[in-house]
Structure 1
Amino acid sequence: MPKRPGGFGADAVAPKSYHEPALPEHQLTTDRQRERRARILDAAVDVAAVGGYDSVHVRDIADRAKVSLATLYHYFPSKVHVLVWALDRELMRFDDSLGQHLTKIEDPFARLQMVVLRLVHAMEDSDRVTEALAHAYVAANVVASAEAEMIRVETREMFAHLMSGGATSALHRQTADVLADVWTSEMLALVQGRRTYAEMRRRLRTVIDLIGRTNAAG
């Protein structure tokens, strides 16, 4: 794993500040801008699906999205930023799609177990895209710190929301906070080849079991 931003590839970072954040959607003022931004994210995922993180180049994303490099860099300072925002969008879609399927599960820890199973299964089904998005998330801790924190918060909020099924309690937030940190660690291990999807699934379920037992005992 490279230890400095330059190690992520020649076009990993545009000639800007490493920690300059991307332009978020809520700052866009026209439908055309929002559509262009979405097209760039779609293009990044399409390119990633071909060969994972190493196959993603900023010029290829721009060509596929039918925008200039200057336009792409206006929205996203680097390919890491593009892929991390694509990951954020996938997490929000996952949150929206899964919530309706958990209404019959009353136990919050059983709900969380189901969330983890579905999440890791979805990641495994899109292996090359997952590899690219996970690699970008790990790289973001070096070159896109605002986006890295955004993903951690998004993951925590997703776990808390799907665990609660409604009003989020202190227990839901505390559990989600711990699980988000474990999930981040597992993503790193996955990128480094130290973890399989099956192992990731088992370790996340073990953490949820332990937290559930501690809460029941307390």
Structure 2
Amino acid sequence: MEAKVDIGARSATPPLTERQEARRRRILHASAQLASRGGFDAVQMREVAESSQVALGTLYRYFPSKVHLLVATMQDQLEHMHGTLRKKPPAGETASERVAETLMRAFRALQREPHLADAMVRALTFADRSVSPEVDQVSRQTTAIILDAMGLTDPTSAQLSAVRVIEHTWHSALITWLSGRASIAQVKIDIETVCRLIDLTEPDAKQERKK
């Protein structure tokens, strides 16, 4: 039986008005700009408020803490990456090759902004239960990117399990690279290795194992 996944699911909060959405976008842009210049410590809520031209109290209504803000910034950055990836889909012949290519392209995009990448990953690491909605959005966006590369809209439970392991490995690879404990070459090897899990979820592979 196939397990359906709603990768676009959102919290039950009312949708933002056009003005509120514009304000939120300014806040996320300011957060990304400050993080790009100086990393996690450079993102101060007062400076974000000033840069985005919103009152400090308004900023806290949108994002209760810096961690909430930076995790939301990561989701926003992934969403932009997803749009770019859709314009130029991966060229690999197999699903595993396409996912590996996609994740390495996303990784290299983050590599070009190391301070921003470090700030977002640190926020994701620090996130507690209060940040669950924002963390879930990051996970859903990453899942959507992987499923698009696989060419799937209705994944099986086995395929979703493989996607989760790939997602965890990708995030772990980001952490080890940012901390200087892994080279880009090693990250590429790890990503390509874990993406081979996708081959095990293919119907032909399952039939082969039953023989």
Superposed pair shares fold, TM > 0.5: yes
The answer to whether the 8 Å contact 1:48/1:55 transfers is yes
Q: Which residue of the other structure, out of 178, 181, 184, is the alignment partner of 1:194?
A: 181
Residue pairs, 1:143-158, within 5 angstroms: 144-158=131-145
Match of 1:169 among 152, 155, 160: 155
Q: Aligned to 1:38, which of 4, 18, 25?
A: 25
CA distance in 1, matches of 2:77, 2:29: 11
**What percentage of aligned pairs have identical amino acids?**
28
2:89 counterpart (75, 96, 102) = 102
Per-residue deviation at 1:143?
A: 5.5
Q: Is the 8 A contact 1:124 1:197 kept in 2?
A: no
2:75 aligns to what? Answer: 88
Range with bigger deviation, 167-176 or 69-78: 167-176
Q: Do residues 74 (structure 1) and 61 (structure 2) align? A: yes
Q: Is the 8 A contact 2:30 2:52 kept in 1?
A: yes
Q: For residue 209 of structure 1, report the CA deviation from its aligned partner.
A: 3.0
Name stretches of at least 5 consecutive residues in structure 1 with no aligned partner. 1-22
Partner of 2:108: 121
Q: In angstroms, what is the RMSD of aligned CA positions? A: 2.7
Q: Is the 8 A contact 2:146 2:163 kept in 1?
A: yes
Distance in 2 of aligned mates of 1:29 and 1:209: 40
1:47 Cα deviation after fit: 0.5
Q: Which runs of 5+ in 2 are unaligned?
A: 1-9
Q: Compared with structure 1, are the counterparts of its residues 114 and 104 closer, same or farther at alpha carbon in structure 2 (3 Å cutoff)? A: closer
For residue 43 of structure 1, report the CA deviation from its aligned partner.
0.2
Kindly indicate whether structure 1 or structure 2 has the higher relative contact order, using CA contacts under 8 Å at least 6 residues apart. Answer: 2
Q: Does 1:47 align with 2:34?
A: yes
3-state SS in 1 of match to 2:196: helix
Secondary structure of 2:127 counterpart: helix
Q: How many residues get paired? A: 195
How far is the alpha carbon of 1:78 from its aligned partner? 0.7
Q: Do residues 212 (structure 1) and 170 (structure 2) align?
A: no
